[in-house]
Structure 1
Amino acid sequence: MKSIPTLYEWVGGNDALEKLTEVFYDKVLKDDLLYPVFKNMSGNHSKHVAHFIAEVFGGPSLYTQGDKGSHATMVAHHLGKMLDEQKRQRWIQLLLQSADEIELANDPEFRSALVAYLEWGSRIAVINSTTTENPVNENEPMPSWGWGETKGPYIPDTD
């Protein structure tokens, strides 16, 4: 029986994700709505985001090992940014346009998984952007995204 590839393998690995985020953040910096949010991002921002997505999609630990990041680190980047629904939707729109532009895997199964992840992650980013307290501690595992299975809502440990 064939094994099912990870989303990371299916998308084409790190090179494909780095190309996606590079094209995407170039669009973001030209967008009147999103530019103010991202104008001070580091030169490595798009690469770090690609590494984060790679790890979430079942790839190597490029973000946690190579970039020395964590789930808590990624959440911290959104704290206090006061994102709203209009910005969230534009972010998704530009990312999906970028995916089409670079001809990222476009089969229905992959795109469904990608859009589900973007919806989930961007909605969490909006929630976290309205606070200055990080709800995720450094020991929390990285999110893991697959082909559509759900594992229920994340409920922080209150012990």
Structure 2
Amino acid sequence: MNRNISLYEALGGAETLRLIVESFYPKVQAHPLLGPLFPPDIDPVIEKQYLFLTQFFGGPSLYSDKYGHPMMRARHLPFAITPERAGAWLDCMRRALQEVGIDETLQKIVIDRLTGPAHHFVNTSEEET
């Protein structure tokens, strides 16, 4: 990846990021560990994820402009996030990136970038679920 452009730009900007998020959430909804954590009307969640990932990957600060500081760990505290669920979330993202046709090198960079936050949100052990 060219070090002079953001991950957002390397992925293809708004259009590609929208495709990724729209490919990702059906996988999340269908996953037995993840689906029950999400509301039936997934559209607002998709929109927030799009805004957040745009900003997280170096694009415009859409999420902060609309909702303020992301405070993502705090926003996830009401949900039982286990290590297994974090891994499942990352797997759904990996499959979405593949489905959209993201270059393998970029896929690895995206997953590496999301792995830390995904595991940072863990707030429940497997035994507690």
- The TM-score normalised by the length of structure 1 is 0.69
Q: Distance in 2 between matches of 1:90 and 1:3?
A: 30
1:22 to 2:22 alignment:
yes
Q: CA RMSD in A?
A: 2.1
2:74 to 73, 76, 83: 76
Match of 1:125 among 102, 121, 126: 121
Structure with the higher fraction of residues in helix conformation:
2
Does the residue aligned with 2:63 lie in a helix, a strand or coil?
A: helix
> Which one has the largest radius of gyration?
1
CA distance in 1, matches of 2:3, 2:92: 32
CA–CA distance in structure 1, aligned partners of residues 47 and 107 of structure 2: 21
Q: Aligned runs of 1:145-156 on 2, under 5 Å?
A: none
Unaligned runs of 5+ in 1: 131-159
Equivalent residue letter for 1:71: P
Question: 1:29–1:39: 8 Å Cα contact kept in structure 2?
Answer: no
Deviation at 1:107, TM superposition (A): 4.1
TM-score, length basis structure 2 = 0.83
Deviations 1:50-80 (A, max 9, x none): 2111112111111111x324222x3332013
Name the structure 1 match of 2:94: 96
Percent identity over the alignment is 26
Partner of 1:37: 37
Q: Runs of 5+ in structure 2 lacking a partner?
A: none
